[in-house]
């Protein structure tokens, strides 16, 4: 099968496909018993991400089980701060814990010098996946967008309001700009190398874009994304990029006009009639089945699936969730949706 026959690439090229391609954010993960089995063999989560054999295996598991049309490499958005020299650990029932970067000195101590060596295992994972995936399956690489990665770097952990990063951006805009600039450079290099290792599509996760005031959103989400897209495109002009500025509502229009991404992943709350009318003319829309509808299952899940299919009939569209799969999700509910979309 040639590249041009892959459904995800067709949809991202702006074509209405015979049926939409389907994949799910966090499709490789804790909801699968076979994932938990492999995960249990390594205590450190980052070491797990950096072990190509294991990362390849867990990436392939949902492809084998469900027959998704795309495969997103298993990794974490916090490999970037780790590669820049910040101390990053993952703690059970807490999540990521980082030594916070809170002033200009701490930003200056970060360095992209060892980045490519540090991330070499991720590229090995992509090369292995590229060789192992069935021919119709598109390989997706990804990174966290600078703003979202910075919220963890500054706050030291996840937080519901991202207050630490938002405050640093107001109080010391130059320090924060230096951090974002470093992240733009590192993320662009990382994504370029991912394409060279076999990634056919890239997704930029900006999970916490929704907490920013509109002027801050321009500075810390739109502008850095635009720079990354330009840098990647200067080397690899044809690789499609999907943005996921979560929770930004109407500001998604501005995001698309400025950044020039080919795809936009939209969150659970997004009104898909609005997305079809307003975003679809600007980029291929991806989303937004409620991950909790997937947990609940039943006839309601079929109804929600059908509503998305009908809404985007005759348009380029990628079936996905509005956020990552929940760990409580029964795998048979995922199979139910895949069957229905691929029917």
Which residues make up the interface to a copy of itself (CB under 8 A)? 160, 163, 166-167, 170-171, 210-217, 247-251, 254, 268-272, 274, 288, 290, 292-293, 295-296, 298, 300, 304, 307, 322, 326
Nearer to a copy of itself, 158 or 331 (CB): 158
- Determine whether 39 is an active site residue: yes
Of the candidates 71, 82, 72, 70, the residue with the CA atom closest to the CA atom of residue 45: 82
Considering the complex, what minimum distance in angstroms separates the CB of residue 50 from a copy of itself?
28
CB-nearer residue toward a copy of itself: 64 or 303: 303
Q: How far is the CB of 128 from a copy of itself (least distance, A)?
A: 34
Give the nearest distance from C-beta 258 to a copy of itself in angstroms: 13
Helix (H, G, I), strand (E, B) or coil at 289: strand
User: In the complex, what is the shortest distance from the CB of residue 45 to a copy of itself, in angstroms, rounded to a whole number?
Assistant: 20
Nearest to 163 by CA among 211, 215, 99, 220: 211
Q: At what angle do helices 173-196 and 120-132 cross, to 10 degrees?
A: 40
Which entry of 35, 50, 76, 190 is annotated as an active-site residue?
76
Catalytic residue among 19, 39, 157, 340: 39
Q: Is 233 a catalytic residue?
A: no
Burial of 186 (0-12, 13-18, 19+ CB in 10 A): buried
Helix axes 331-342, 298-311, angle to 10 degrees: 40
Q: Tell me whether residue 317 is one of the annotated catalytic residues.
A: no
Q: Which is nearer to a copy of itself, 296 or 309 (CB)?
A: 296
Classify burial at 70, counting beta carbons within 10 Å of its beta carbon; exposed 0-12, middle 13-18, buried 19 or more: buried
Nearer to a copy of itself, 140 or 321 (CB): 321
- Contact assessment for residue 142 and residue 148, using Cβ atoms and an 8 Å cutoff: no
Choose between 145 and 293: whose C-beta lies nearer to a copy of itself. 293
36 is an active site residue:
no
Query: What count of Cα atoms within 13 Å lies in the side-chain half-sphere of residue 101?
Result: 32
Q: How far apart are CB 113 and a copy of itself at their closest, in Å?
A: 33
Q: Is 30 annotated as catalytic?
A: yes
Of the pair 97, 120, the CB lying nearest a copy of itself is at 97
Which among 35, 50, 123, 152 is annotated as catalytic? 152
- Check: CB of residue 241 under 8 Å from CB of residue 229: yes
Give the span between the Cα atoms of 45 and 217, in whole angstroms.
31
**Three-point CA angle 44, 27, 286, nearest 5°:** 130
Shortest spacing between CB 178 and a copy of itself, in angstroms: 18
SS3 state at 322 = coil
| Residues 6+ away with beta carbon under 8 Å from 331 | 31, 32, 33, 65, 66
Which of the residues are catalytic? 26, 30, 39, 76, 152
């Amino acid at each position: 099968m040639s590249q041009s026959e892959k459904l995800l690439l067709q949809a991202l090229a702006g074509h209405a496909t015979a049926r939409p391609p389907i994949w799910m954010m966090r499709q490789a993960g804790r909801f699968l018993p076979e994932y938990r089995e492999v995960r249990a063999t390594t205590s450190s989560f980052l070491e797990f991400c950096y072990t190509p054999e294991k990362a390849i295996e867990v990436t392939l598991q949902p492809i084998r089980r469900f027959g998704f049309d795309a495969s997103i490499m298993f990794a974490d958005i916090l490999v970037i701060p780790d590669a820049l020299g910040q101390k990053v650990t993952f703690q059970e029932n807490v999540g990521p814990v980082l030594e916070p970067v809170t002033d200009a000195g701490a930003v200056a101590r970060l360095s992209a010098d060892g980045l490519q060596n540090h991330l070499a295992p991720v590229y090995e994972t992509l090369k292995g996946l590229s060789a192992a995936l069935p021919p119709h399956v598109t390989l997706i690489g990804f990174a966290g967008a600078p703003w979202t990665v910075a919220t963890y770097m500054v706050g030291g952990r996840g937080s519901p309001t991202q207050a630490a990063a938002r405050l640093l951006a107001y109080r010391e805009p130059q320090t924060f700009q230096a951090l974002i600039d470093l992240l733009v450079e590192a993320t662009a290099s990382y994504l370029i190398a991912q394409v060279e290792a076999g990634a056919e599509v890239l997704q930029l996760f900006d999970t916490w874009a929704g907490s920013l005031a509109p002027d801050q959103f321009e500075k810390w989400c739109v502008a850095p994304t635009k720079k990354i897209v330009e840098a990647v495109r200067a080397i690899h002009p044809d690789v499609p990029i999907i943005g996921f500025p979560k929770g930004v509502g109407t500001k998604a229009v501005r995001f698309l006009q400025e950044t020039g991404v080919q795809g936009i992943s939209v969150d659970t709350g997004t009104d898909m009639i609005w997305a079809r009318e307003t975003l679809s003319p600007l980029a291929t829309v991806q989303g937004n089945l409620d991950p909790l509808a997937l947990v609940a299952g039943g006839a309601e899940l079929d109804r929600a699936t059908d509503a998305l299919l009908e809404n985007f009939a005759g348009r380029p569209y990628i079936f996905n969730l509005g956020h990552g799969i929940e760990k409580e999700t029964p795998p048979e509910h995922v199979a139910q949706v895949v069957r229905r979309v691929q029917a």
